[in-house]
């Protein structure tokens, strides 16, 4: 089971739940709201380090949780990258998706794709070479828009083994 946590003030659980259940067959449950720790903000970059608040998600007392997925609306980054849409830490069983750069008329679709992508990493999948697969690395929002919501056959086989 994946527990979905939302940054305080957000209301976007339903598209995430539906995407995970339909495309990954992963049961999702709302785990409540959380606040982003102030120390995760990097003033030089004017962005947030999601690794710093991914651990916050693990404080949930959900006994049946395999994974924790946080949804935020702040700009996030990883070392060596200008920005990212999401990040997963399979060792912690925790992932984060940011709405910051997913905005626009396709927001729910984009959020669903990124939630599936990061949860796929938690399930052990790596980036895929197929640009249509949801596990393809999105360097730009156009990459996200061109991807399907689903896994390619090769990635699907990996999680069904």
Please give the chain's pLDDT, 161 residues, in tens: 788 999 999 999 999 999 999 999 999 999 999 999 899 999 999 999 998 887 778 777 677 788 999 999 999 999 999 999 999 999 989 999 999 999 999 999 999 999 999 999 999 999 999 999 999 999 999 999 999 999 999 999 999 87
> Among the options 17, 114, 118, 161, which is catalytic?
118
Which two three-digit tokens encode residue 25?
């067959």
Q: Count Cβ atoms within 10 A of the Cβ of residue 158 and give its class: 0-12 exposed, 13-18 middle, 19 or more buried.
A: middle
Q: Return the pLDDT at 59.
A: 75
Q: Return the pLDDT at 160.
A: 86
**Strand 47-48, strand 41-42: pairing:** antiparallel
Considering the segment(s) 2-124 as one domain, its CATH architecture is 3-Layer(aba) Sandwich (3.40)
Cβ proximity of 36 and 51 under 8 Å = no
Our answer to whether residue 161 is catalytic in this structure is no
Alpha helices by DSSP H, 4-130: 13-19, 50-57, 107-122
Distance separating alpha carbons of residues 141 and 11, to the nearest angstrom = 22
Q: Return the pLDDT at 61.
A: 65
Cβ proximity of 120 and 135 under 8 Å = yes
Half-sphere exposure of 128 (CA within 13 A, CB side): 25
Distance separating alpha carbons of residues 4 and 96, to the nearest angstrom = 10
């Amino acid at each position: 089971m994946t527990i979905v946590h939302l940054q305080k003030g957000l209301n976007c659980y339903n598209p995430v739940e539906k995407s995970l259940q339909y495309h990954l067959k992963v049961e999702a449950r709302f785990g409540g709201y959380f606040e982003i720790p102030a120390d995760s903000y990097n003033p030089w970059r004017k962005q947030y380090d999601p690794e710093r608040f991914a651990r916050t998600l693990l404080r949930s007392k959900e006994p049946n949780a395999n994974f924790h997925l946080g949804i935020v609306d702040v700009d996030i980054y990883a070392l060596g990258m200008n920005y990212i849409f999401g990040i997963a830490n399979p060792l912690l069983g925790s992932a984060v998706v940011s709405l910051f750069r997913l905005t626009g008329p396709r927001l729910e679709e984009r959020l669903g794709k990124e939630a599936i992508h990061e949860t796929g990493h938690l399930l052990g999948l790596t980036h895929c070479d197929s640009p249509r697969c949801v596990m393809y690395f999105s360097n730009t929002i156009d990459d996200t828009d061109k991807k399907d919501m689903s896994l390619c056959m090769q990635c699907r086989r990996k999680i069904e083994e």
